[in-house]
Structure 1
């Protein structure tokens, strides 16, 4: 699978969020603020997982169609299982 710049940029933003959270902890910021930022980072990760899985589904279905495979249903099930496991 080709991980495009959009996906990589999402991860770089998340990396920045995590660094900011570490700084907040080092500065002894309020627990509520740290949890808020952790929740935001987790949401960003969850959304990125969704983007990766949906891109994977599209790629798998295209490849199955191009190669004449009839088992695109199995490919979809595998991709959905990946998404479910991520939760």
Structure 2
């Protein structure tokens, strides 16, 4: 399955941002920053990764549904399993 290039570009951008945030987190730990600040940044990274994953899943589900509609009924169990991997 191929995903829309615009979706992939946005997901890449989100992942690069998260990658930078992880680097910042490591630096915060090395600098002995306050635990609260580290946890806030950790939560931000987690949300960024979740959003990237959900965007991929949503785009993938949309693609799966449109592909399946051409071939017959969608396999609901497989779609649920795919979605729940990130939920």
TM-score by length of 2: 0.83
Asked whether the 8 Å contact 2:18–2:45 carries over to 1, the reply is: yes
* Runs of 4+ residues deviating >3 angstroms: none
What's the counterpart of residue 81 of structure 2?
81
Report the CA distance between 1:69 and its aligned residue: 1.3
Unaligned ranges ≥5, structure 2: none
TM-score by length of 1: 0.83
Unaligned ranges ≥5, structure 1: none
Report the CA distance between 1:54 and its aligned residue: 0.3
- Distance in 2 between residues matched to 1:17 and 1:83, nearest whole Å: 25
